Structures are given as structure tokens and as C-alpha cells.
Amino acid sequence: MEIKITKTTAPKAKPEDESKLGFGRIFTDHMFLMDYSNEEGWHDARIVPFGPLPIHPASTVLHYGVEIFEGLKAYRKQNGEIAMFRPIENIRRMNNSAERLCLPQIDEDVAMEILDTIVELEKDWVPHSDGTSLYIRPYMFGNDPHLGVHAVHNATYAIICSPVGAYYAEGINPVKIAIESEDVRAVKGGTGYAKCGGNYAASLRAGEKAEQKGFTQVLWLDGVHRKYIEEVGSMNVMFKINGEIVTPELTGSVLPGITRKSCVELLKEKGYKVSERLISIDELYNAAKDGTLEEAWGTGTAAVVSPIGWLSYKGEEFIVNNGVIGEVTQALYDELTGIQWGKIEDAHGWSHKVC
């Protein structure tokens, strides 16, 4: 596939102080764009200077929210190579999300070639400091220029890249979580398993309320019974209860995280009993009460793991592992980040070399 590259004539200065990168505020010099129509399929693959997208005021995405996205990172490894972590998993998930929202599929090899091309072009934007990376945000949206409600005939695929700071610049501090009993993020049969903007729109209110009350994130319960634990914020969630690792099974309303999958694989190799099953809020409540809840943590690309130190439910507050990161959580963090930054051997072939 031909990707036409138009380089910027006005490259920006790279951020000098990498401790101030934050998340998703600075963007690289270029972006990838490709258009789809039923007649032509995917066409006009191009890398152009980063800038605004012209969009029709009736565009499907603006009215009906037909949008999906991905999030992955490119890392500057110890040996000087630039690599992505399991990017094929993001490509497959994007195609699954696309299927749910009636958006077109992208051939896996083509999608990989596109990722490799944009990351290689922007390689100097991959920051150098410990814990930093280049966040890659592929997204696809319905782009028909009329208001009729139906599966789209036109779509756009885009990729933007942002150098991001170390998530744990101040050390890994466990977070405070409120269990959300009113709003739900997704329901079985809906779009919970798809990484789509609409799921995020539905989750904002609970997140804001929790933040106002001094919590970092909410723990989502299932939308039907309001009983089974699904995710924490926009991360998957895992618990260590009485020696066993438990994570909610992928019932259709849970996002199949790549960090989740990687953690499950690593933990099974280490000999832990790992159960992907339903876990009710009562089970968690009882485990927190009788002391068998040994660890709790979220998993996702941005943070890798995020230890949970406090859980609030029905006005009661529980402390997990004395509010410090647990042994298993720490081991997962060390192993995954070790592979990502090339500090330990990548026995699974998870690290995908770009250049």
C-alpha cells in the first residue's frame, strides 16, 4: 500500500523538559489520514503535517457518535531501538470495535505498515527520559455528509501521536476508588467490549462525581444486576483474594484490555491460580471485611498497573494492603515495563521493533 508523505516545512521544537510532558497535550509534527467509501474502499493513505481536520457539519460522527479508537505506546528501548508493545492486538481489537459500530475493517498487515510508518517518521519525538513514551492514538469515525441514520458509507481513519511523561513520576501511589451504584458504563449487548468514544461519554458523570468526593476513579458494576464488578475507571481490574487472582470475565460489557491479557498470561506462567469469572460486589465486600482481599489493581496501557489502596462502598471505607502497592502488582509492573523499555528479555515476542 502506498502512503503518500508530505513533510512539514515548519517542524516544532521537541519538548525540552520531559518531566513536564503530561498526557496527550503535545502532538508530533505529522498525522496519518486515510479515507473510506463503499465505492472505493480505503484510499488516499497519507501522512500530512499535524493540523485541524476539515469536517462536514452533518458528519455522522458529530451527530451519532460513530467513533472508535485505540491507544498504544512506542518506547525507546535501552538498546536504542524504538518498539511498540503488542500492536497486533490493538489492530485486532480495532477491527472488532469497527464491526460493532458498522465501520469498515482494515487489513491487519496494512494497519501494521501504517503504524510502523508513522512511528518511524516521528521517531525523534519518542522521549528519552525514564518512564516516558510516545502515545499513539489511532481512531476511526463515520464521515457521511448527511443526517440519515444508517451504517456509514464514508469513514476516516487517523493516527495522531503524543509524547507522554512518566505516569508515576511521583512513585506508584495507590488510588482511592468509589463503587458506582447509579450510573453504568455499558451493558451486555451494547458497546462495552468496543473501544468507542460513546462509552467514555457515558462514563464522565460518575467520574466527575467521584472526583468531587475525593476519589480517583469509580468501580463499575454490571448494568443488568448492578452486582458484578466490571472495570475501574477506564481500566480493567484484578484482585488477589486468598492467594487467587480474580478478574472479571469478558462478558461483552468489559473492554478486553491488552494489559489485562498480558497480566493474565504472565501470572499463569508464574503458577498463580488465575480465574476470569464473575465477581460480585458482595464477594469483594466480604473479602475486604475478613482480610482475604490481599491486593487490588487496575490495568491499562497508560498506567500499566494502578494499585487500589482504598475502596468505598455504601459509606464504608476499606483499606487494601495497608494502602501500599502489593507484591503481585509490583511484580507485574516491573515485568511489563521491563519488556516495554527493553530492560529484561522479551520471552513472548511482545515487543515489536519499529526501527
> What character string, x for contact with ligand PLP (CB under 6 A) and - otherwise, covers 150-189?
----------------------------------------
For residue 300, state whether it binds ligand PLP (rule: CB under 6 A): yes
**Binding residue for ligand PLP, selected from 29, 231, 294, 335, defined by CB under 6 A:** 231
Closest to 235 (Cα-Cα) out of 253, 257, 252, 251: 257
Give least dist CB 89 to ligand PLP, A.
7
Smaller CB distance to ligand PLP: residue 176 or 195? 195
Size of the site for ligand PLP (CB under 6 A): 14
Instruction: Determine the Cα–Cα distance for residues 231 and 254; give it in Å rounded to an integer.
Output: 7
CA dist., res. 176 & res. 216, Å (int): 5
Tell me the three cell numbers of residue 179: 463503587
Assigned C-alpha cell, 227: 452486582
Among 154, 162, 301, 329, binds ligand PLP (CB under 6 A): 301
- Per DSSP, 75 falls in state E
Round to whole Å and give the CA distance between 303 and 294.
21
Nearer to ligand PLP, 121 or 184 (CB): 184
Residues 250-279 that bind ligand PLP (CB under 6 A): 255, 257-260
Strand, coil or helix: what is 100?
A: helix
Residue type, 191: T
DSSP alpha helix (H) spans, the chain: 60-64, 87-100, 108-121, 197-212, 258-269, 281-290, 327-340
Per-residue binding string, ligand PLP, 185-224, x by CB under 6 A, is ----------x-----------------------------
Give the nearer residue to ligand PLP in terms of CB position, either 154 or 247: 247
Among the listed residues 28, 59, 234, 312, the single contact to ligand PLP using CB under 6 A: 234
Distance CA 153, CA 37 (A): 5
Q: Segment 68-127, which members bind ligand PLP (CB under 6 A)?
A: 71
Q: Contact residues for ligand PLP (CB under 6 A)?
A: 71, 195, 231, 234-236, 255, 257-260, 299-301
